[in-house]
Amino acid sequence: MWEAEAQGFAAMGSQARLRVLKVLVRAGEPGLTVGEIQDRTGITPSTLAHHLKHLAAGGLVAQERVGRATINRARFDALRDLAGFILEECCADEARKAVNDG
């Protein structure tokens, strides 16, 4: 039922992955190479590859091979969908209570 959403949130399930994702969000649409992400986060290459794999599997990061480099980009559409999913029923109980009390 909520499989894609659960995978997306699970992909963000560590401080390091959140840090990588925030760096990619900050970079915007051009994205960053693995080396650039490493420079900005200080995460070792093998560990960074592991985290990028989880973020890509969760649908939050797109990876594109350009020559010898891999460009990583935040998937803003997926991030917006997750934000919308978690906030879609924001304050619904308060609104229902106000109608019932009114």
The whole-number pLDDT of residue 100 equals 80
| pTM for this model (two decimals) | 0.86
How many whole angstroms separate alpha carbon 98 and alpha carbon 102?
6
Tokens, residue 53? 């794999």
> Structural domain boundaries of the chain?
3-101
Each residue's pLDDT tens digit in the chain (102 positions)?
899 999 999 999 999 999 999 999 999 999 999 999 999 999 999 999 999 999 999 999 999 999 999 999 999 999 999 999 999 999 988 877 777 886
CATH number, domain 3-101, options 1.10.1740.10, 1.10.10.10, 1.10.357.10, 3.40.640.10: 1.10.10.10
Beta bridge partners of 63: 72
Neighbours of 36 (CB within 10 A): 16
Tokens, residue 102? 């009114």
The whole-number pLDDT of residue 97 equals 74
The whole-number pLDDT of residue 98 equals 76
